[in-house]
Structure 1
Amino acid sequence: MRIFAIADPHGNYSFIRPLLERSGKVDAVLIAGDITNFGPVEKARELIGIFDQKVMAVPGNCDPEPINDVLDSSIAVNLHNHSITYEGITFIGVGGSNPTPFCTPFEIEECNIEKNLDESMAEFKESGNPVVMLTHAPPYGVLDKVGDVHVGCRSIADYLGQVDLIVCGHIHEAKGVEMSNGTVVVNPGMVANGFAALIELNVLEGKLNIDVSFIKA
């Protein structure tokens, strides 16, 4: 499966079509939040309408919470507090972010993020499927530094070693890929600045092989 992964458009979708053209054949799209820049939430339909592929998305902390209603009524799969299995891979997600100093529209207490993720994972823990987690916030300690300070989500970090791949955004300056406790973590970069990631997923003998590359418009 070839995935086109983006994060943090903040309402600027101008680079997405050029990035798709550079990407070649893509099987699915992951959108890691901050779809709008504090609204309007209906703008999310414009973004989703760009794609012909299967789209899975979560909102970000800069998206007003009613964006979930827009995503739920669209052709995209809203992975916020939900999970699906697609092509033998389980995708789960959580949107918004852990609390920030900025009182943005969609912030969630750590205990509630933990509860929601536990519920999303519960029915798949025994399935043996590889698991991809789509989040807006990064896990604490991985691709989450603002200056010298880690600002990621501790509840997401608890899943390092339990899932195969985490695709996140939120920290605009933290584009990259890191391995932590056996989990690959990818921040595609801010698509509003022309960045995206291509992620190749191949299931071989029950294990998920992951290859990540970055593209710029």
Structure 2
Amino acid sequence: MRLFAIADPHGNYSKIEELLRIAGKVDVVLIAGDITNFGPDEKALELFSMFDQQVLAVPGNCDQRSIIELIGESSATDLHGRSVTIEGVRFIGMGGSNPTPFCTPFEIQECDYEESLGNVTEQEGIDNEPLVILTHAPPFGILDNVGNEHVGCKVLNTFLDKADLMVCGHIHEARGIVTSGKTTVVNPGMAALGFAAVIDLDISADEPDVDVTLIEAGEKI
């Protein structure tokens, strides 16, 4: 399964078509939040219309909370606090972010993160399928540096070494790939600036294999 992952387009979708051409054949699109730049919600429909593939999306802290309803009624799949299984792979999502100093529209307390994700995992179970976490915020201590400070979400750390892949965004300057236990954590970079990631997920073996390539508009994969 080939995944096309983007984060933080902030309403600027001018690089998406080029990034898709670079990515080649894609099976599923992952959108890790900040789809708009503080709205309007309807702007997201422009982005979703660019894809023929199944789109899984979560909102970011710079999206209005009302965007959840729009995603649910669109061609995309709202993954905020939910899960879906595609071709034997379980996808679980969580949007918004843990609190920031900026009082952005979609911020969530750590305890509410824990409750929401706990409800999903208890209802669905995460032990028997390859697992992908799609989240706007990064886990604490991984791809979450702002200056010398870690600003990630501590609740997400409970998935490290359980999930096979975690795709996040939020911290624009933290583009990269980090492995923690069996979990590959990817921040594809700010899509508004022409960054994305192509992720090949092979579940044919006993242990899923995750191969990530960071791509940039203007380059070839």
**TM-score, normalization: structure 1?**
0.98
Runs of 4+ in 1 over 4 A off after TM superposition: none
CA shift for structure 1 position 206:
3.7
Question: Residue in 2 aligned with 1:187?
Answer: 187
Question: Are the equivalent residues in 2 in contact too, given 1:128–1:206 (CA < 8 A)?
Answer: no
Question: Residue in 2 aligned with 1:170?
Answer: 170
Percent sequence identity over matched residues?
Answer: 58
In the TM superposition, what are the counterparts of 1:17-36 in structure 2 within 5 Å? 17-36=17-36
CA distance in 2, matches of 1:28, 1:187: 17
CA distance in 2, matches of 1:127, 1:210: 18
Question: Residue in 1 aligned with 2:90?
Answer: 90
CA distance in 1, matches of 2:22, 2:129: 30
**TM-score, normalization: structure 2?**
0.96
CA shift for structure 1 position 148:
1.0
CA distance in 2, matches of 1:87, 1:65: 30
In the TM superposition, what are the counterparts of 1:1-217 in structure 2 within 5 Å? 1-125=1-125, 128-217=128-217
- In structure 2, the CA distance between the partners of 1:206 and 1:116, relative to structure 1 (3 Å rule), is farther
Count of residue pairs the alignment pairs up: 217
AA aligned opposite 2:60: G
CA distance in 2, matches of 1:216, 1:76: 24
SS in 2 for 1:140: coil
Q: Which runs of 5+ in 1 are unaligned?
A: none
CA distance in 1, matches of 2:69, 2:35: 14
Question: Are the equivalent residues in 2 in contact too, given 1:129–1:206 (CA < 8 A)?
Answer: no
**Residues 107-162 of structure 1, C-alpha deviation per residue, up to 9 Å, x if partnerless?**
00000001111111123336510110000000000000001110000011121112
CA shift for structure 1 position 196:
0.4
AA aligned opposite 1:41: D
CA distance in 1, matches of 2:15, 2:139: 27
**Residues 22-46 of structure 1, C-alpha deviation per residue, up to 9 Å, x if partnerless?**
1110111000000000000111111
AA aligned opposite 1:118: G
AA aligned opposite 2:17: R
CA distance in 2, matches of 1:208, 1:178: 16
CA distance in 2, matches of 1:2, 1:150: 31
> Which stretch has the larger CA shift, 176-185 or 99-108?
176-185
CA distance in 2, matches of 1:204, 1:148: 40
**Residues 171-202 of structure 1, C-alpha deviation per residue, up to 9 Å, x if partnerless?**
00000000113211000000000000000001
Question: Are the equivalent residues in 2 in contact too, given 1:8–1:190 (CA < 8 A)?
Answer: yes
